[in-house]
A and B are shown apart, each in its own frame.
Chain A
Amino acid sequence: MTKKKSGIAYFFRTPIRRWSWLFMGPVLAAFIIGFVWPFIQGIYLSFCEFRLVSDAQFTGFGNYLKAFLDSSFMHSFGYTALFAVVSLILINVLAFAVAYALTQGIKGSNLFRTVFFMPNLIGGIVLGYIWSMIFDGILSHFGTSILQNSTWGFWGLIILIRWQQIGYMMIIYIAGLQAVPEDMLEAAKIDGASRWQTLFKVTIPNVMPSITICTFLSLTNGFKLFDQNLALTAGQPFLIQADGSVIKTTEMLALNIYNTFYGSNSAAHGTAQAKAVLFFILVAALGLIQLAVTRKKEVQQ
């Protein structure tokens, strides 16, 4: 039996391999151009001093040291972490609440779902301008603007990101909620559990996989946010430090890296690349933890 199977597999595999250039070639070529080579070069350049790429001079860990000593980078790190955590909590609590409400069998659920998901399809730049018009429309009555106060900038971005992402997380939660076994809920009802007891003791433990996915998704989305940040405040208001350096108070990590690369100082390319590597390690670590957690959950089930 096994012999026959491997025979067919052999018969089947060999002709495919003759066509490997056709099946793998295009993707491999593009993947090397679009990812592998830029990635390797990026790691290497983070240890170099360079303006273009051809003039790279190896300098060791100097760029990383500069990145850590850069007060604007540290500020944006703290700001981004705070933003990611606040948006994570608000998005998930609200998305879960909406998903829970939509799975109670009320009329018009489909319409609500359609509307709540819609902002997801609008790009980050466009979203930023829509909301900057709305916020300025309100704040101009008080003689100010979202660009003048970093607290408003923070909450403005939170409101924007909530509007965009609640629908997305809601879809994942609805899928999770619909998979909760009906007989479990019925058993809880017969045993006399109240609605809240059922929610916390039966429903939530059963949707834990969805909660894990959404938690990590909103966390990494928060860290990677760029377009919305650029379009809404672009880091304003700016704060000039005693030593002449500028802290852009609402600038997040991705925008800070971008500004270091494409700002006025082209000698800072090395530092910018080192920041990018640190950013990559942070985001990749979150991704790997997510993978490990979801894998573990799958084994348990």
Chain B
Amino acid sequence: MNKQQTLAAEKRRKTTLTVILSVICIIYVLPVLSVLINSFKQNSFVKTDTFALPNAESWAGVSNFVKGMTFGNYPFWKSVLFSVFITIVSTILILLFTSMAAWYIARVNSTFCKIVYYLCVFSMVVPFQMVMFTLSKTADTLKLNTPWTIPVVYLGFGAGLAIFMFVGFVKSIPLEIEEAASIDGCGPIRTYFSVVFPMLRPTMISVGILEIMWVWNDYLLPYLVLDINKYRTIPIHIQYLKGSYGTVDLGATMALILLSIIPVIIFYLICQKYIIKGVAAGAVKG
């Protein structure tokens, strides 16, 4: 084979690959697109003409969205607000407190610290079903069953991975920087907040992304801990559309699903670089 032939073969191979990948790509987008088109269809057409574009007969306009807002006797906007609140507060609590604890564990490294650290690593392999009954009872007893207090539960159950990742990172920071700060007269609190905290930024982003994704999409923990009649998050709300009635308004369900995945996709497109990095970091370490 001469050089020109090799190059031509190489080019053909790349074109084939691109075509195959483009086809897979389209298949990948189809489910989301079908949510989009079905959210504008009347209920009776969703099941029979799932993959057709809405036509004059099946077009429902925005009525699905209007209906979805109060569907199931629970206003959708309330679920959205609770989801946003719980996700933001839990993530901030986890980032702040676990990074402080991780710094303490990595620097003091006493027997007690080692025990706590290994307990955290251990908690990462425990499936939620193991503790779900006792955890929801404990949360009930301690009145942690409202959206304002559930972040404490998330901090406790989610501490393991966060501490594990932070300790790994703190150990890679040279001690000399903190020593210099302490010689310059910084106490531990000032050393932590003005010297260590800013250096933790890359891990903060990784852990933050993992926690946001976990809490935002979590269904079972809030379902078991919260008082469902008063407080719902988006996943609970969507599960209840099907759970509470024999027949479901599929059009309205698709409208709500569309509304709930649009912010996720926008968030993903904006912070794509960090999300992929954060997820990979969590996977490799966990």
Contact = CB atoms under 8 A, between A and B. Distances in A.
Interface of A: 8, 11-13, 15-20, 22-24, 26-28, 30-39, 41-42, 45, 52-53, 98, 101-102, 104-108, 111-126, 129-131, 133-134, 136-138, 140, 163, 168, 171-172, 175, 213, 217, 224, 226-227, 230-231, 254, 257-258, 261, 269, 272-273, 276-277, 279-280, 283-284, 287-288
B17 A37 contact: no
B101 A27 contact: yes
Contacts of B268: 118, 121
B217 A124 contact: yes
A107 B19 CA distance: 11
A31 B120 contact: yes
B188 interface: yes
B247 to A, nearest CB: 13
Interface string B1-28: 0000000000000100110110011001
Interface in B220-262: 220, 234-235, 238-239, 242, 250, 253-254, 257, 260-261
Contacts of A168: 279, 283
A175 B280 contact: yes
Closest CB pairs A-B (n = 10) = A34-B156, A137-B50, A123-B217, A287-B125, A30-B156, A38-B134, A23-B104, A38-B131, A280-B130, A38-B135
B53 interface: no
B77 interface: no
A97 B246 CA distance: 43
Contact of B34 (A108, A125, A134, A172): A134
B195 interface: no
A27 to B, nearest CB: 4
Interface string B154-170: 11111110010000000
24 contacts: A19-B189, A23-B101, A27-B163, A30-B156, A34-B154, A34-B157, A35-B131, A38-B138, A101-B20, A101-B21, A107-B18, A118-B268, A119-B28, A121-B217, A121-B264, A123-B216, A123-B219, A124-B219, A130-B35, A133-B250, A217-B283, A224-B127, A227-B219, A257-B129
A3 to B, nearest CB: 16
B254 A279 contact: no
B129 A115 contact: no
Contacts of B213: 121
Interface residues of B, number: 96
Contacts of A133: 34-35, 38, 46, 50, 250, 254
Given A28-B116, A31-B156, A122-B264, 19 more contacts: A30-B153, A30-B156, A45-B134, A53-B137, A113-B276, A123-B216, A125-B239, A126-B235, A130-B257, A136-B47, A163-B28, A227-B217, A230-B219, A230-B239, A254-B129, A258-B132, A261-B133, A280-B129, A283-B126
B56 interface: no
Contacts of B275: 117, 121
Contacts, number: 267
Contacts of A140: 47-48, 50
B97 interface: yes
Contacts of A98: 21, 24
Given A30-B159, A106-B18, A39 B130 contact: yes
Interface of B: 14, 17-18, 20-21, 24-25, 28-29, 31-32, 34-35, 38, 46-48, 50-51, 97-98, 100-101, 103-105, 107-108, 116, 119-120, 123-135, 137-139, 142, 144, 152-160, 163, 175, 178-179, 182, 187-189, 192, 213, 216-220, 234-235, 238-239, 242, 250, 253-254, 257, 260-261, 264-265, 267-269, 272, 275-276, 279-280, 283-284
A30 B35 contact: no
A11 to B, nearest CB: 7
Given A115-B25, A122-B217, A137-B51, A283 B156 contact: no
Contacts of B127: 224, 254, 279-280, 283
A171 B279 contact: yes
Contacts of B216: 123
A88 to B, nearest CB: 15
B189 to A, nearest CB: 6
